[in-house]
Chains A and B, each alone.
Chain A
Amino acid sequence: MKKRFLIKTRITQQLTALFLTALLVAISGCGDADMEGEGTHNKETIVITMIAKSSANPVFISAKTGALKTAESLTEKYSKLKVVIDWQTPANESASEQAEIIRNVVKNGNKAIIVSCSDEDTLTQAINYAVDNGVEVMTFDSDAPNSKRFAFYGPDDLEMGKKLMNELAGLIDGKGKIAILGGNRMANNLQERVKGITKTAADYPDIEIVGTYYHPETEAEAIAVMNEVIKLYPDLKGWAMVGSWAFFGERLKDVIEPGTIKIVAVDALPVQLKYIEKNYVQVLLGQPTFTWGEISVETVIDKIYFNKKIEGIIRLKIIPVTIENLGGWSRQLKAWGYKDIPEKYLEM
């Protein structure tokens, strides 16, 4: 009996050894194929030049973080691909400097550019020059729709305006006078947002838009306009702001009392968070700026490495920020690379 058991144990050992060997052969077979592949094909390096509007602006630092993290994870995931981000952003907004960078990229032979256009007309020519010379170009945040770029990633400004109006209507129970703070009259994206607001306001018969107020895009100018309008319309119920200029300093506190006039504004940057906390503004429409870099890099790789078909316009999803999700949004901003977020918000 014992002898029979020993024989069987030996058979088990032999079978196990045989199976392990078979597995090893199978695995080493795969390994050979890989080594052969590595030997005959070099690891492909794709350099993507990233040109944001301004390297001083935290929204673009966050976009850069998204691009770098995505490049790193793609390089880690694919053994035959290396993605490198070449960050070439002017210190301050300058369309001509951006155009110059694009021309240099063509000379350097980089394969792709992702760019947020400071000026549509100036950049359209430069983008077309790059594309004509074999460089793939994608825009994010701010588009050059008439250029030969293969895709744009950014918000639908018309939809954003509609959302802004719906949020404000909810806050004032669908009735009362409201004003629109419009920023730069010449900016196409801001115009689209204003259009979205006015279109949607038509759905609320008891809401009256007293006017759309344009101004140079600084805090001081925005506050001056607001002050004037509030004096003109003391019964004003709400402000629809297509940008966040009014929150870039401390002056807003001198113009309105918290909660007396409801405000919904675009963007939810760290400097604006205290205004949410103190109820000066009830809803901010935040843009996931990290994804400007993340989605753009993924899309470029899908296009030039995987030869996938890409949609011409890829829409960014807006996140409403209120006192309810101030903590979550603050932690999300930190994860996206924003600095100087007060700890009390991170703990909320």
Chain B
Amino acid sequence: MSSKEIHKTASKDKIPNSQKFAYGLGSIVNNLLGGAIGYMSIVLNVGLGINPALVGTLQAIPRLTDALTDPIMGYISDNTRSKYGRRRPYIFIGAILVGLTFALMWQLPEGYSEMFYFWFFLIGSIIFYLFYTMFATPWVALGYELTSDYHERTRLMGVMNFMGQFAWITLPWFYAFMENDRFFSDSVQGARTLAILIGVFVAVVGIMPAIFTRERFVGQDKEVRIKNKFVEGLKKNVALFFKGLLITIKRVEFLKLCAGTFFVFNGIMLVGAFSSYITIFYVCGGDKSMGAYYMGLFGTVTTISTLAAIAAVTWISSRIGKRKTFIIATAIMFFGSLLKWFCYDPMVPWMVVIPAPFIAVGMGALFTLMGSMIADVCDLDELETGERREGMFGSIYWWMVKLGMAIAFGLSGFLLNGTGFVVDFGGAQTSSTFFWMRVVDVGIPAVGALIAIYSIASFKITEEKSYEIRSELEKRRNKSISVEKISPST
């Protein structure tokens, strides 16, 4: 095959649209669960009077437990053998349990102490995140294995990312919903009702990927049964787990994807707060209602642009490949970040929206292409190790994203203080404070984008290489199946 030749997806590799849609529904649930606690936690402070530091602790502790539970769940799912598959049983049960837990953890009774609420919510959160991991890790892994085709993977991830945006559109409305005195007497009552609505939605919609998708690797791998005693079995599993973990985190191509994601995504997350502050206090001179208007406009333009970018990136990558598409999209985002320096002008406030579509291109491309490229890495990994470990790859990748996000949120406060920002001064910050706020706002995402481009530029699994790997894997599988067929011991 010539390096410029574009593969057409064979009909057997195409995922039916209904399955893509069903998988995409999981994305809405996944994003909703990932964002809901953050958007609703304000009620803990405003409605129940819990100290903001304790609310921060409540959000940080589950990140630590995730570090352990995510890879373990990935390992369990990768090594599960059942007639329903390795992923779907967990997605089905996980969706129901996480929906139920989410609804229950927000049923906070009235009239108790701050520490009662802290422990109530902490225990609830830990159980919630456990079930969230049970749902999300196999769901992510399922996406990596629904098709073997290089381009079809990107299309699936495009649908998934596109549908997932609807959760992000909904989330900012949660506070207004909970605070709406047409429906509720106070925000705590609003949170209780909203949690039930979300819980029902999660349980009903979350099981759709389990019901309507088909796993490709059910029963194809040889079964490994540990017939030893429980303790020995446990020891062996722990050893296998750490071995798998080490192989995963040593996989260079995977690390490049992690680095690319980390720097693009967290670059944007880290300065998320800065952009709001700069819009309100610099561009709008401290006029909060004007600032809120422009931030809303920025959000709307970003959302529309992201949806368009996902569609465009999916199409372009089928023409020029994932790596080149990622580099171009990230370069556009780099340009958008630099544009902020010129467009954030107090004399012309509406210009704040100009960089939004450019930045959205990078963000839209990120989770569309990265998911698809991780699936390619899983193939390479199988070629070299003989094992399919989508669960492990997916869990470590997403844990890294979540951890990065937690670090970004934590660091952004320190960075803001470092610029000399004094909240009581409102729009009357010093010129040097505004200068450094803008340097950080422009510089961090721009530098992050450049590092990401550098990381992905050397990513080796091109379209051609991917098809070679696939061909080799299929040969090996066919051989393995025929050996199994003639072997009397199987």
Interface of A with B (CB < 8 Å)?
5, 8-9, 12, 15, 19, 22-23, 26, 30, 33-34, 37, 69, 73, 77-80, 286, 288, 317, 319, 321-322, 324-325, 327-336, 343, 346-348
| A80 contacts across to B, CB distance below 8 A | 181
Question: B425 and A325: CB pair below 8 A?
Answer: yes
Q: How far is the CA of A73 from the CA of B287 in the complex (A)?
A: 13
A101 → B minimal CB distance (Å): 29
Check A319/B426 contact, CB under 8 A, given A78-B181, A79-B180, A324-B432: yes
Question: A334 and B285: CB pair below 8 A?
Answer: yes
Partner of A325, one of B204, B208, B424, B430: B430
Question: A346 and B346: CB pair below 8 A?
Answer: yes
Question: A335 and B287: CB pair below 8 A?
Answer: yes
Q: How far is the CA of A343 from the CA of B204 in the complex (A)?
A: 58
Q: Mark B420-432, 1 if CB is under 8 A from A, else 0.
A: 0000111111111
Question: A12 and B427: CB pair below 8 A?
Answer: no
In the complex, how many residues of chain B place their beta carbon closer than 8 angstroms to a beta carbon of chain A? 37
Question: B284 and A335: CB pair below 8 A?
Answer: yes
| A15 contacts across to B, CB distance below 8 A | 204, 208
| A288 contacts across to B, CB distance below 8 A | 426
- Closest chain A residue, CB of each to CB of B291: A335
Q: How far is the CA of A340 from the CA of B181 in the complex (A)?
A: 40
Check A19/B201 contact, CB under 8 A, given A33-B183, A334-B285: yes
- 28 residue pairs of the A-B complex, CB under 8 angstroms, read A12-B22, A12-B208, A12-B211, A12-B212, A15-B208, A19-B200, A19-B201, A30-B193, A34-B183, A73-B289, A79-B181, A79-B182, A286-B428, A319-B425, A319-B428, A325-B430, A325-B433, A328-B282, A328-B431, A331-B282, A332-B285, A332-B426, A332-B428, A335-B290, A343-B347, A346-B347, A347-B346, A347-B347
Question: B428 and A335: CB pair below 8 A?
Answer: no
Q: How far is the CA of A346 from the CA of B283 in the complex (A)?
A: 10
| A319 contacts across to B, CB distance below 8 A | 424-426, 428
Q: How far is the CA of A324 from the CA of B181 in the complex (A)?
A: 44
Question: B181 and A327: CB pair below 8 A?
Answer: no
Question: B204 and A19: CB pair below 8 A?
Answer: yes
Question: A335 and B285: CB pair below 8 A?
Answer: yes
| B212 contacts across to A, CB distance below 8 A | 8, 12
Within 8 A of A (CB), among B281-297: 281-282, 284-287, 289-290
* Extra contacts besides A34-B183, A286-B428, A328-B427 (7): CB < 8 Å: A22-B200, A69-B289, A319-B424, A328-B425, A331-B282, A331-B285, A348-B431
A333 → B minimal CB distance (Å): 8
| B285 contacts across to A, CB distance below 8 A | 328, 330-335, 346
A329 → B minimal CB distance (Å): 4
* Residue among B201, B282, B285 having the largest count of chain A Cβ atoms under 10 Å: B285
Which 9 A-B pairs give the minimum distances between C-beta atoms? A331-B285, A332-B427, A335-B287, A335-B285, A324-B430, A329-B428, A34-B182, A332-B286, A325-B430
Question: A321 and B428: CB pair below 8 A?
Answer: yes
| A78 contacts across to B, CB distance below 8 A | 181
Interface of B with A (CB < 8 Å)?
18, 22, 179-183, 193, 197, 200-201, 204-205, 208, 211-212, 281-282, 284-287, 289-290, 346-347, 424-434
A174 → B minimal CB distance (Å): 23
Question: A331 and B286: CB pair below 8 A?
Answer: yes
| A322 contacts across to B, CB distance below 8 A | 430
Question: A328 and B182: CB pair below 8 A?
Answer: no
Q: How far is the CA of A346 from the CA of B201 in the complex (A)?
A: 49
Question: A325 and B284: CB pair below 8 A?
Answer: no
Q: How far is the CA of A77 from the CA of B182 in the complex (A)?
A: 10
| B282 contacts across to A, CB distance below 8 A | 328, 331
Q: How far is the CA of A317 from the CA of B39 in the complex (A)?
A: 30
Q: How far is the CA of A333 from the CA of B179 in the complex (A)?
A: 31
| A73 contacts across to B, CB distance below 8 A | 289
Q: How far is the CA of A159 from the CA of B430 in the complex (A)?
A: 22
B10 → A minimal CB distance (Å): 19
A167 → B minimal CB distance (Å): 15
| B181 contacts across to A, CB distance below 8 A | 78-80
Q: How far is the CA of A8 from the CA of B18 in the complex (A)?
A: 10
Q: How far is the CA of A44 from the CA of B180 in the complex (A)?
A: 16
Q: How far is the CA of A23 from the CA of B181 in the complex (A)?
A: 19
- Closest chain A residue, CB of each to CB of B427: A332
| A9 contacts across to B, CB distance below 8 A | 18
| B428 contacts across to A, CB distance below 8 A | 286, 319, 321, 325, 328-329, 332
Q: How far is the CA of A79 from the CA of B182 in the complex (A)?
A: 6
B424 → A minimal CB distance (Å): 5
Q: How far is the CA of A77 from the CA of B187 in the complex (A)?
A: 13
B208 → A minimal CB distance (Å): 7
